[in-house]
Amino acid sequence: MAAAGLLRMVLVTILVPVLAAMTAAPAFLDSGSLTIPVGEKGPWRVAVANPGPAVDAQVRLTGPVAKVLAVSGPAVVRLPAGGVTDIVLRRAGPGRAVAGELVLVAESGLARKQVRITEASWLARYWAVPVGGVLLLLVAAGVALVMRRRRLVPEATQGAPAAPGQEEFTHSDEPVEADGLGREEYVRELAMLAGSAAPPLVVGVFGEWGTGKTSLLKQVRKVVETEHPHCAHVWFDPWPHQYDGNPVLPLLHGMVTQLGLTRREDVRRTLRTISEVLGSLVLTASLRISVTDVRKSLDSYDETNFRVRSERTRLDEHLGTLIAQALRARGKSRLVVFIDDLDRCDGEQITALLEALKLHFNRDNCVFFLAVAKEPLISAVRSKYQDMPVDNYLDKIVQFPFEMPRLPDPAFHDYLDSLLREQIRPARDLLAIGLPRNPRTVKRFVNVLILQDRVARARGLADYDLCILAAVLLIRDADKDFYDRLSGDSTLLNRIAEDLETASTDQLPDWNPLPLGIVRCLLGMKRAVPGDVSSYIDLVKASPLPRQSDEVAPEESLPRDPVSGAVPSSVFLERLGRRVDLVVGEEGELLPSLARVGPEPQARRVTPEEVMGLWRNEGLLLTGARGSGKTTFCARIIRRLLAQGGATPVYLPVRSLRERSGTLELRLTHAVVDQYRLSLSEAFSLVIRENVLCVLDGLDELPSPSARASLVQELLMWQGQTGTRVIVTDTGRIAHDRLVRGGFTVVELLGVPEVDAAARLRRHLTAHGADYGRLRLPEGFIRSPEALAMLLASSSWIDDLPPDPVDFIPWYVNRALRRCATEEFTADQLAEALRGLARDPKHGPGETFSSEAAGVRSVFRQSGLRGIEVTGALRALVEAGLLKEAGEDTYRFCHELILEHFARRSPA
């Protein structure tokens, strides 16, 4: 091992600089082939050197070896700059002698390595013959002994049934040639189209992953074979050939092989000619040559170019001859080609095959069926032809578009019933409402449910209920956001049940539709919803059920996609606008902020427009004490940016950044997913946009000075690398000096001018017939924008003011509690709940809390409120001016003095 490590160090020290001098593309350290004996178990490591800058690279195995070996880990790996990375291969199928290539595809280049699995020596291969003979004799003796003992077993036990669960319990995921989804009419009509429509014709069979495109094509092929004898048919899967230079050649080889024409000399001669033409074209396009090579080849360039153009001219003639020879040899007049799994290929290979169909196979004796998912197809076209409308492009190639039909309810229920084993049949109603109408997804889910049910029974899970297991699995696979919340708070399903039980007939609790529907179904089935489902989550959280496709890369390996320049989704902009409106309210009601800008010693009135004018491409740091208006000022800047339509602001509370390994970009991506309920790809595209502005609110809410310093360092590095503009808010000075050195403009907010605030409040009181002198306000209270907003939000409290001066905070709180009381909850219950919230260290000044958090629900439960009563109580407290909405289902105390009042006050 020491020698291997020394050799590796020498290779890295010597070879990487050499490679860097030659090319910036990744390369395998060992240029020779990887040879693996059939019986070796692995794993095997292959070292890759990356002399250039850090880059993401796809790792694929191609050729027959892909059925025996697999790449362990993500399909996209991060290659560090100037370093070496190990690619790990593992056994994925039965051992046999095959060959193929390990291919590394990065933006900076492509690297290939031959991989061969070889037979063992004669002695190693045939040692089992004598040993097998001995074992055979022993087995024969054992069988004779068993038969002899069976004759002694009483006849009454001979017909005993097999133990429960011993039958085959999983369903194959392979495509089927027998229709079980009510699509027979579609199959026959498409087969009729293949046999009778006037060629040239390309039929596009469009459908998402798992909708049964491959099965449909196989069924159409079967009908073509039996009912249209004038048609020859060929099946082509381009995925194993996606790294070949041109898709035409493997398609032709597949056609000749499947039609049994490999021995015909005329066919082979024509195929060789086509191979030479295509080979020369691919070689010309893919060679990397140095400046010296270019100079040497200038003399022969014209001659080579003339030969290639001549061969291209003859290519159509050769192809026509080959197809005619093939059909004539089989006594057919039409060729029907079924192309499957095109959407698994790289974008360039997708467009190359589509264009080959148009340029080379647009013939009067050819019909093509193309099964493909639209999303990767559209992505491939847009990547290559940014300005061309995708519909126009596809219309030129696909003459007959066919969308996979939606599975109707009767067919879906019949299909589901056909998959359910007796032991999991009680969960049928749940599966019927929770599973998508996608045959492959249904089959895979049922397989996983069967497996997890068997494991749960074998473990003896306490108070086990199959339906609860099915509910957790359904939520895990169809509502990731809610499942993440359920993993952190395993009481959520019980709280939904409480809400449903306490809601009136005209009320619908505000929960995600899927978990709400599942819990309603459970209650309708008279199933008890457990208070804690953590044991079910522990059972299923590692279950290997893919959500979209086997080829989807993990979240930690998100590709650098050029979508970063795309327009942000309207959903995100709408949700961001709602959040800003909650924070700012009516702009006309706001007073100017009092602040010190940069090194200025004097405080002065500032507006968002003035700060935006001072702040160019550097970052912006907003500091100030709690309640000084930092979040409101940020929100006002965001509102102006949204109105201008330039930079895209992304507002995130610092506490939303997960404490996890990974780059800052990934942590920001996950925070956007959590805060705005976007998909992972949408969030990542938003974060890496060139014109994004990141607003991180509440640096002081991180738990420790070291955590704050670490985040500041990450922000400065990220900003320096990407040029992304950043706004940070902070109450302390831990980050101040470092951010100033990083070029950040500093604005220290001091609240609103007290003179302006007092004048505004005096006018408000006078307008309602009250005297400003009747209020005893805490010192500095009205300088806080939050406090002033609370006072100006309503006039009802003014009408209740007593004639004598009053200490405002205790009077305001008692008055609000009295007005909140209803038939559903009393003032004492609300006061007890607020005391519980205020005394929880997690709900300190400025902190928010979720109405659905287990701790919050527990506090309200102790005060006698449960289910949907909690939601009603929180809304009443917001209307009374004690709490404030900070986001969707998120609240905080209107002012820290109100929080302190409940934290120190004893129950009456």
Residue 68 near residue 93, CB atoms below 8 Å: yes
pLDDT, position 73: 79
Which has the closest alpha carbon to 259: 305, 209, 184, 322? 322
Do 329 and 389 reside in the same domain of the chain?
A: yes
Do 593 and 534 reside in the same domain of the chain?
A: no
- Strand locations in 660-715 (E): 692-697
pLDDT, position 120: 57
pLDDT, position 555: 37
CA 659 to chain CA centroid, nearest Å: 19
Do 526 and 582 reside in the same domain of the chain?
A: no
Which has the closest alpha carbon to 606: 507, 773, 747, 768? 747
Q: How confident is the model at residue 162 (pLDDT cuts 50, 70, 90)?
A: very low
pLDDT tens string 751-764: 888 888 888 888 88
Kindly tell me if the per-residue pLDDT of 562 is higher than 60.
no
Residues 853, 859: Cα–Cα separation, whole Å: 10
- Average pLDDT (301-326) is 65
pLDDT, position 175: 53
Is there a domain that residue 630 lies in? yes
pLDDT tens string 677-736: 887 777 887 887 777 888 998 888 777 778 888 888 888 888 877 788 889 888 876 677
Whole-prediction pTM: 0.48
Name, in order, each residue with C-beta under 8 angstroms of 296's C-beta and a sequence gap of 6 or more. Answer: none
- Strand locations in 297-383 (E): 334-339, 366-372
Residues 204, 391: Cα–Cα separation, whole Å: 13
Please identify, among 70, 100, 120, the residue that sits at the C-terminal boundary of a domain: 120
Q: How confident is the model at residue 238 (pLDDT cuts 50, 70, 90)?
A: confident
Q: What is the CATH number of the domain that holds 721?
A: 3.40.50.300
Higher-confidence residue of 370 and 787: namely 370
- Average pLDDT (402-429) is 81
- Average pLDDT (379-402) is 78
Is there a domain that residue 239 lies in? yes
Residues 288, 27: Cα–Cα separation, whole Å: 14
pLDDT, position 129: 54
Kindly tell me if the per-residue pLDDT of 599 is higher than 50.
yes
Higher-confidence residue of 585 and 543: namely 585
Is there a domain that residue 147 lies in? no
- The Cβ of residue 368 has, within 10 Å, a number of other Cβ atoms equal to 24
Q: How confident is the model at residue 137 (pLDDT cuts 50, 70, 90)?
A: low
Give the orientation angle of helix 827-838 with respect to helix 808-820, to 10 degrees: 130
Kindly tell me if the per-residue pLDDT of 179 is higher than 70.
no
Structure tokens at 362: 């647009």
Residues 174, 141: Cα–Cα separation, whole Å: 40
pLDDT tens string 70-92: 888 777 888 877 667 888 888 88
Residues 449, 292: Cα–Cα separation, whole Å: 64
pLDDT, position 660: 57
- Average pLDDT (767-771) is 82
Give Cα separations from 167 to 426, 466, 469, 902 (angstroms): 19, 19, 22, 63
Average pLDDT of the residues of the chain: 76
DSSP code string of 837-850: HHTSGGG-TT--EE
Is there a domain that residue 167 lies in? no
Residues 39, 119: Cα–Cα separation, whole Å: 8
Cα angle 755, 758, 760 (rounded to 5 degrees) comes to 105
Do 394 and 462 reside in the same domain of the chain?
A: no
Looking at residue 405, what DSSP letter applies?
P
Do 381 and 439 reside in the same domain of the chain?
A: no
**Phi, psi for residue 109 in degrees, rounded to 5:** 155, 180
Residue 699 near residue 713, CB atoms below 8 Å: no
Residues 178, 161: Cα–Cα separation, whole Å: 31
Q: How confident is the model at residue 789 (pLDDT cuts 50, 70, 90)?
A: confident
Query: Looking at the DSSP assignment, which residues form a beta bridge with residue 34?
Result: 115
Name, in order, each residue with C-beta under 8 angstroms of 762's C-beta and a sequence gap of 6 or more. Answer: 772
pLDDT, position 17: 44
pLDDT, position 908: 40
Give the H or E element holding residue 183.
none
Do 284 and 318 reside in the same domain of the chain?
A: yes
Residue 256 near residue 265, CB atoms below 8 Å: no
Is there a domain that residue 161 lies in? no
Do 457 and 579 reside in the same domain of the chain?
A: no
Residue 408, classed as helix, strand or coil, is coil
Do 352 and 264 reside in the same domain of the chain?
A: yes
Structurally, the chain folds into a number of domains equal to 5
- The Cβ of residue 698 has, within 10 Å, a number of other Cβ atoms equal to 21
Please identify, among 749, 780, 800, the residue that sits at the C-terminal boundary of a domain: 749
Kindly tell me if the per-residue pLDDT of 16 is higher than 50.
no
pLDDT, position 145: 53
Is there a domain that residue 144 lies in? no
Is there a domain that residue 727 lies in? yes
Residues 724, 719: Cα–Cα separation, whole Å: 5
CA 92 to chain CA centroid, nearest Å: 25
Strand-pair category, 231-236 with 334-339: parallel
pLDDT tens string 328-387: 888 888 888 898 877 777 777 787 788 777 767 778 888 889 888 877 787 788 777 776
Do 529 and 601 reside in the same domain of the chain?
A: no
Higher-confidence residue of 454 and 182: namely 454
Query: Looking at the DSSP assignment, which residues form a beta bridge with residue 620?
Result: 727, 745
Domain that holds residue 91: 2-120
pLDDT tens string 456-477: 888 888 888 989 998 999 988 8
Length of the chain in residues, anyone? 908
Q: How confident is the model at residue 291 (pLDDT cuts 50, 70, 90)?
A: very low
Residues 830, 850: Cα–Cα separation, whole Å: 17
Is there a domain that residue 349 lies in? yes
Residue type (1 letter), 876: A
pLDDT, position 394: 79
Q: Which residue do the tokens 């050499």 mark? A: 18
Residue 186 near residue 353, CB atoms below 8 Å: no
Do 506 and 601 reside in the same domain of the chain?
A: no
Do 598 and 741 reside in the same domain of the chain?
A: yes
Q: Which residue do the tokens 């100030």 mark? A: 624
Kindly tell me if the per-residue pLDDT of 305 is higher than 60.
no
What would you report as the CA-atom Rg of the chain, rounded to the nearest whole angstrom?
A: 35
Q: Which residue do the tokens 């709280």 mark? A: 495
pLDDT, position 358: 75
Do 393 and 422 reside in the same domain of the chain?
A: no
- The Cβ of residue 44 has, within 10 Å, a number of other Cβ atoms equal to 18
Name, in order, each residue with C-beta under 8 angstroms of 645's C-beta and a sequence gap of 6 or more. Answer: none
pLDDT, position 173: 47
Please identify, among 68, 91, 120, the residue that sits at the C-terminal boundary of a domain: 120
pLDDT, position 574: 87
Kindly tell me if the per-residue pLDDT of 628 is higher than 50.
yes
Higher-confidence residue of 471 and 100: namely 471
Q: How confident is the model at residue 287 (pLDDT cuts 50, 70, 90)?
A: very low
Kindly tell me if the per-residue pLDDT of 15 is higher than 60.
no
